[in-house]
Amino acid sequence: MRETQELRAEPRSGTGKGAAFQIRQKGLVPGVIYGGKEEPQNISVDYRTLERHVETGTFLTTLLMLEVDGKKTRVLPRALQVDPVSDRPVHIDFMRLSEGAKIRIAIPVHFRNQGESPGLKRGGVLNIVQHEIDVICPADNIPDTIEVDLTGLDIHDSIHISSVTLPEGVKSIIRGRDFTICSIVAPTSVIEEQKAAAAAAAAAALLPPVEEGEVPEEGAVPGAPGAPGAAPAAGAAAPGAPGAAPAAGAAAKAPEKK
């Protein structure tokens, strides 16, 4: 669980695009605090201070103690709008959190012990299906990450949510389905070799059988007339048999004179 961070803000009275533009021109980022039993409150936050918090990469899952005019309120950043060109923060929403509140939040997944995975050692690739998992958890116990242990994972093995131990009080949003978090897949080179071997085996199965010791001539189709080992055509007499026609090109023998 991360420690609660402190952040200062100033109240603002103007609303709308024009007022927000003027706020940004002063080096501030417009925002709003909502939730709880109080009315929404418009505020502005120093741009550079906010940017330092955002650069940590965990801003949207970090509890903040927001101070406005000397009054501190526990909040959680819920939405951060950025400029599509410069990626500068242009608006921020904070949600008030009362004591004992539970929230829905996306927690990043962290994979450890990759060196203890036989599948990865053999050249397999870690296929990440879930980079984040949506959970419901107490606001006072937001986990930093969800740990997934890859020890013993081989090629074609996978890890599902049922095999992951979630922190106390943390529950997955998805119920009734044991969804996949990651798997170890074979590298592309192995997959291509398997496909080539399967294609070669299928092609060999379509060829007619060849008897032992028989070597087909180059270009000859086994079993075709004239090919080694081929049976004589139907109705054709074997060479040398009575009534067999003389071989092509042989001269007929003249009858002897008596």
* pLDDT recorded at residue 186: 87
* pLDDT recorded at residue 187: 81
* pLDDT recorded at residue 109: 95
258 residues of the chain, pLDDT tens digit each = 567 889 999 998 877 788 888 889 899 999 999 988 888 999 999 999 999 999 888 888 889 999 998 899 999 999 999 989 988 899 999 999 988 888 999 999 999 999 999 999 988 999 999 999 999 999 888 888 999 999 999 999 999 999 999 988 899 999 889 999 999 998 865 556 667 777 777 777 776 665 555 555 555 545 445 545 444 544 444 454 454 444 444 444 545 554
* pLDDT recorded at residue 61: 86
* pLDDT recorded at residue 237: 47
* pLDDT recorded at residue 21: 85
All structural domains of the chain, each given as residue ranges with its CATH number in brackets, are 5-98 (2.40.240.10), 104-190 (2.170.120.20)
* pLDDT recorded at residue 44: 93
* pLDDT recorded at residue 139: 87
Q: Which residues contact 111 (CB under 8 A, 6 or more apart)?
A: 126, 128, 148, 150, 182
